């Protein structure tokens, strides 16, 4: 992907840690005007110490979303997300609702907040961070995978709807990368399954599947930077390049 020549104003959600933090720092280093949106004030202060314009912007908070609607951004990188594993037969509904509130409803709400300005200007780019879980779901991954499947539908519909306005929509599907996000998900499932049960055995195999071969997150940071700055981008990007083969999925 060839990089555009002009600098851009880029809003990155979930910039308090992991991929989002890395991308915010690198894009700022390259001279772009980055707004790093974090869940907490403490995260914003930490990110600001790296030279990034950081602010607390919770994509589920009405006040924060109203403030976001006043921003003029060229690119929105929808990176904020929440993890949740659990057996669908017994997982508490409040946990399912919580992960949908962030991953699906929050992502759509922040997207709606910035789209008005993009439509008026006749340009913009929306990047949706999905996951390999957007096209694959294994045991205990249902609560999380359902939200990522929803983002796949969001990206496809939004792309067609925004094309007449000159607004690009693309998505990124990472596999397992070592940011700590997957570790928290796997550790959290232990409270929802009983040792010695079928679900307990699945929890252990899920730990091996999700944590056994985690990759260097710098690959996703670099990919995010490219998607934010390239003159043209593909609709979907899977990383690593062979991730579909690893999960036994047919070439798309």
| Whole-number Å distance between alpha carbons of 106 and 118 | 19
Q: Which of 32, 15, 91, 69 is nearest to 230 (CA)?
A: 32
The number of residues making up the chain comes to 252
Helix (H, G, I), strand (E, B) or coil at 3: strand
Pairing between β-strand 9-12 and β-strand 33-38 as defined by DSSP bridges: parallel
- The structure tokens listed for 143 are 């609560």
Residues 144, 165, 177, 247: which is the catalytic one? 144
Q: Which of 85, 57, 223 is nearest to 141 (CA)?
A: 85
| Whole-number Å distance between alpha carbons of 161 and 156 | 9
CA dihedral 32, 33, 36, 42 (to 10 degrees): 110
Q: Give Cβ neighbours of residue 180 (< 8 Å, ≥ 6 apart).
A: 17, 18
Q: Annotated catalytic, 165?
A: no
Helix (H, G, I), strand (E, B) or coil at 239: strand
Alpha helices in the chain (DSSP H): 18-29, 41-48, 62-68, 93-100, 107-121, 142-162, 181-189, 198-211, 218-229, 243-246
- Report, as residue numbers or ranges, the catalytic residues: 144
């Amino acid at each position: 992907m060839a990089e555009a020549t002009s600098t851009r104003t880029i809003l990155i959600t979930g910039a308090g840690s992991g991929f989002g933090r890395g991308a915010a720092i690198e894009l700022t280093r390259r001279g772009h005007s980055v707004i790093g949106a974090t869940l907490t004030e403490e995260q914003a202060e930490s990110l600001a110490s790296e030279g990034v314009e950081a602010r607390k912007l919770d994509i589920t908070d009405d006040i924060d979303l109203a403030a976001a609607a006043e921003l003029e951004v060229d690119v929105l990188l929808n990176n904020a997300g929440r993890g949740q594993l659990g057996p669908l037969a017994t997982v508490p509904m409040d946990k399912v609702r919580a992960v949908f509130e962030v991953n699906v409803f929050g992502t759509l709400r922040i997207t709606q907040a910035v789209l008005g300005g993009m439509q008026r200007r006749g340009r913009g780019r929306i990047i949706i961070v999905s996951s390999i879980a957007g096209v694959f779901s294994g045991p205990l991954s249902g609560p999380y995978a359902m939200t990522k499947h929803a983002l796949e539908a969001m990206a496809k519909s939004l792309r067609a709807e925004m094309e007449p306005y000159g607004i690009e929509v693309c998505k990124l599907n990472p596999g397992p990368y070592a940011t700590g996000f997957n570790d928290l998900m796997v550790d959290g499932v232990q409270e929802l399954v009983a040792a010695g049960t079928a679900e307990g055995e699945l929890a252990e195999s899920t730990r091996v599947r999700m944590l056994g071969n985690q990759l260097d997150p710098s690959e996703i940071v670099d990919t995010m930077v490219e998607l934010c700055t390239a003159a043209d981008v593909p609709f979907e990007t899977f990383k690593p390049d062979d991730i579909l083969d690893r999960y036994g999925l047919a070439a798309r």
